[in-house]
Amino acid sequence: MTSKDRVTRHLLTPRPYPAKLSLVIPIYDEELAFPRLRAEIERFKGELHCATEIVLVNDGSSDGTLDDLVEWAAADSSVKVLHLSRNFGHQIAARAGLDYATGDAVVLMDADLQDPLEVIHPMIDRYCEGYDVVYGERESRAGESVFKRFTAWAFYRIMRALVYDRLTVDAGDFRLISQACLTGLREMREVHRFLRGMVAWAGYPQIGIKYRRQPRSAGSTKYPVRKMLSFAWTAATSFSTVPLRVSTILGILTGVFALEEAVRALIEHSLGATVPGWTSLMIVTAAIGSAMLTSLGVVGEYVAKLYEQSKGRPMYFVARTFNVGADKDTAPEQKAAASAARTRLQ
């Protein structure tokens, strides 16, 4: 039995329907998609059998998104708006929303409505069965190019094979999390975050719900190829030491190649067939130099992450809040940083 097959056995304890459900939605430049998002959520709230809070995190939008969020918050007291001081990125914005969520169960989703709200109903059913994490598994991805679907397919399988073998394939950040699991996630204070990997690492009873991802409601994707590659690299280097091992393997392979060239040169010399070895010398020199620079680059990535983590800075700053109580005016992340700073001074 491999480590992938060994799944921790949990005793599920049925729980009642959540008294309050929190929807956490990071938002960045979604002015075009916002009208449908608001209409769909207001419709969906009527289908739930519990109180609902909507935590909208404006991740430094440059369009009119913030105005729309504030207008909605003014019309509905259950809508909480966090306006971050700048764009911190999707994973940090999601963390900010999770920090402020107060529901018994918390659903993290995107603003583009590619993840249907109706999937939340079976998620709540699994929550009531005793599961602490219920994630959405994408059976299909409508409205996306062949290249996008292929890269997404390859990303999860490469990450599972090389980085973390318990990572769920075809599952993004769309998931329901219980407060018990969320309490643990809040203690994980990495600056460079791979949330779906962190949730898998946290453990607790987890189960997937298969669904078909819908086309984007409006606007354009906020994850072009450049950001996708950057996210994949951040996930690999922040969640695993495999890249360091790969650089070691690269160095060994280069050494073997250099040894083969040395043996070949000695054989040619013993046979009296020695010729000027400029080409071989250049090949070996280039291979060794490439391996060294690659290894130094990978090590540098880890050192840079250690450096940024060691600063102890808050992950985000909240510039303004709307419909958030006075006790929440200071972000939990900033409170934790201040507490840690006081501890170091004592």
Helices vs. strands in the chain: H and E counts, helices first: 11, 8
Please indicate, yes or no, if residue 35 is contained in any of the structural domains: yes
Q: What is the pLDDT of residue 279?
A: 60
Pairing label, strands 105-108, 206-213: unpaired
Summarised one tens digit per residue, pLDDT across range 190-234 is 777 777 778 888 788 888 888 888 766 565 565 556 666 666 666
Q: What is the pLDDT of residue 197?
A: 77
Tokens 């949990």 belong to: 10
Specify whether 256 is located in the same domain as 188.
no
Specify whether 259 is located in the same domain as 215.
no
- The residue ranges of the chain whose pLDDT is under 50 are 1-4, 326-330, 334, 337-346
Specify whether 248 is located in the same domain as 215.
no
What domain count does the chain have?
Answer: 2
Cα–Cα distances in Å, from 11 out to 8, 14, 177, 206, 290? 10, 10, 17, 12, 52
Asked whether 211 and 136 are in contact (CB, 8 A), the reply is: yes
Q: What is the pLDDT of residue 27?
A: 92
Q: What is the pLDDT of residue 233?
A: 65
Please indicate, yes or no, if residue 296 is contained in any of the structural domains: yes
Please indicate, yes or no, if residue 283 is contained in any of the structural domains: yes
The predicted model scores a pTM of 0.68
Helix (H, G, I), strand (E, B) or coil at 34: helix
Specify whether 206 is located in the same domain as 286.
no
Q: What does the block give as tokens for 173?
A: 């950040």
Summarised one tens digit per residue, pLDDT across range 87-134 is 888 888 888 899 899 889 999 988 888 888 899 999 999 999 989 989
Asked whether 214 and 143 are in contact (CB, 8 A), the reply is: yes
Asked whether 91 and 141 are in contact (CB, 8 A), the reply is: no
Specify whether 106 is located in the same domain as 251.
no
> Across the strands, what pairs with 134?
176, 207
Specify whether 59 is located in the same domain as 85.
yes
Asked whether 312 and 340 are in contact (CB, 8 A), the reply is: yes
Q: What is the pLDDT of residue 176?
A: 93
Q: What is the pLDDT of residue 48?
A: 87
Please indicate, yes or no, if residue 341 is contained in any of the structural domains: no
Other CB atoms within 10 Å distance of the CB of residue 187: 8
Q: What does the block give as tokens for 206?
A: 């987890």
Q: What is the pLDDT of residue 25?
A: 93
Specify whether 95 is located in the same domain as 213.
yes
Asked whether 81 and 65 are in contact (CB, 8 A), the reply is: no
Please indicate, yes or no, if residue 316 is contained in any of the structural domains: no
Specify whether 155 is located in the same domain as 283.
no
DSSP 74: H
Please indicate, yes or no, if residue 236 is contained in any of the structural domains: no
> Across the strands, what pairs with 207?
134
Q: What is the pLDDT of residue 229?
A: 67
Q: What is the pLDDT of residue 32?
A: 87
Specify whether 145 is located in the same domain as 260.
no
Q: What is the pLDDT of residue 315?
A: 80
Cα–Cα distances in Å, from 273 out to 267, 282, 296? 9, 19, 38
Please indicate, yes or no, if residue 109 is contained in any of the structural domains: yes
Q: How far apart are CA 208 and CA 133, in angstroms?
A: 8
The last residue of a domain, from among 224, 252, 284: 224
Structural domain boundaries enclosing 290: 242-310
CATH number for the domain spanning 115: value is 3.90.550.10
Specify whether 47 is located in the same domain as 195.
yes
Specify whether 127 is located in the same domain as 158.
yes
Please indicate, yes or no, if residue 7 is contained in any of the structural domains: no
Specify whether 249 is located in the same domain as 218.
no
Asked whether 29 and 219 are in contact (CB, 8 A), the reply is: yes
